[in-house]
Amino acid sequence: MKSSTRIVLAGSCALGLLSAPTTAWSAEQHKPAPTPKPTATAKPTAKPTPAPKPVDCTKVKCIALTFDDGPGKYADKLLATLKKHNAKATFFLEGQYVKSRPAFAKLMVTEGHDIGNHSYTHPKFTESSIEDIREELKKTQDVVKKATGKYPTTIRPPYGLLDDDTKTVAAEMKMPIVLWNGGSRDWATKNEKAIYDEVLKNAKRDGVILMHDWVAQTVTVMPKLLTELKKQGYHVVAVSSLPGFKTLKPADVFPAAAAQDKDLSADSPTGDPDDFAQSPEDGN
């Protein structure tokens, strides 16, 4: 009988142990869940700065600064100044310099400036065959497209020298011709005060000013010049923003009276090697 009783008691105890949770396990089950810590409130995302509205030069006073023979070796500094002053320009590029400074050419396009075709090696078109003119311009179109992803949309013949052959090629390429009606003579003086005074003397509403981004003094005086033009009420814009530009047809000349200006060539380098302060080997 003792043996039977022990077996019954042992079985009862085993069943009790199996059916009742341990104290530790039970306490764990009834422990309150930890209170979640508050998460940091996300800061509102800054709103993007809206793009400036296009300048309407039919309503405000505009002027276009144009730079020939580039990209020059100081073009990056000039672009930084233009950006700081919210000014746009037009760059007439030589293929040989685009080839050696493609990053500068690309930056001009990226930052919204106009680019034009100024030949590959800067010959006088009036002394060139029509085949050579065509080759100079088409070769530059290709190298600019490769560097920037875009083709130039205008032509400025070297030295501003224009003839019927140049107009014929411009018509073939479906591009207008852009000259100028005011200069800086920066290539001749290489003097900051002289450049500043010459530009302000020639400044007028809807004027197109000839300058060069390879002249160090031009780039250095540009902040002062842009500040003064703004004080005089000018908006510095690309040529394509000036009144009358958008209605131009292939081979049309802009500004309209520039082709008859006998003093035009006096604003441009003479073609002597000493007039140019750069070479394709200068690099970036």
The residue from 212, 235, 252, 267 that is catalytic is 212
The structure tokens listed for 138 are 């088409």
- Number of C-beta neighbours around residue 33 at 10 A: 5
d(CA 251, CA 99): 26
Other residues' Cβ atoms within 10 Å of the Cβ of residue 36: 6
Q: What's the rounded Cα separation, in Å, for the pair 157 and 165?
A: 11
End-to-end Cα separation, the chain, in angstroms: 109
Q: What is the rounded CA–CA span in Å between residue 102 and residue 147?
A: 5
Query: Directed axis angle between helix 75-84 and helix 102-110, to 10°?
Result: 10
Task: Give yes or no: 30 in active site.
Answer: no
Q: Which of 68, 114, 186, 252 is catalytic?
A: 68
Active site residue 235: no
Q: Is 11 exposed, middle or buried (0-12, 13-18, 19+ CB in 10 A)?
A: exposed
Those residues whose C-beta lies under 8 Å from the C-beta of residue 7, and which sit 6 or more positions away, are: none
As annotated, the active-site residues are 68, 212
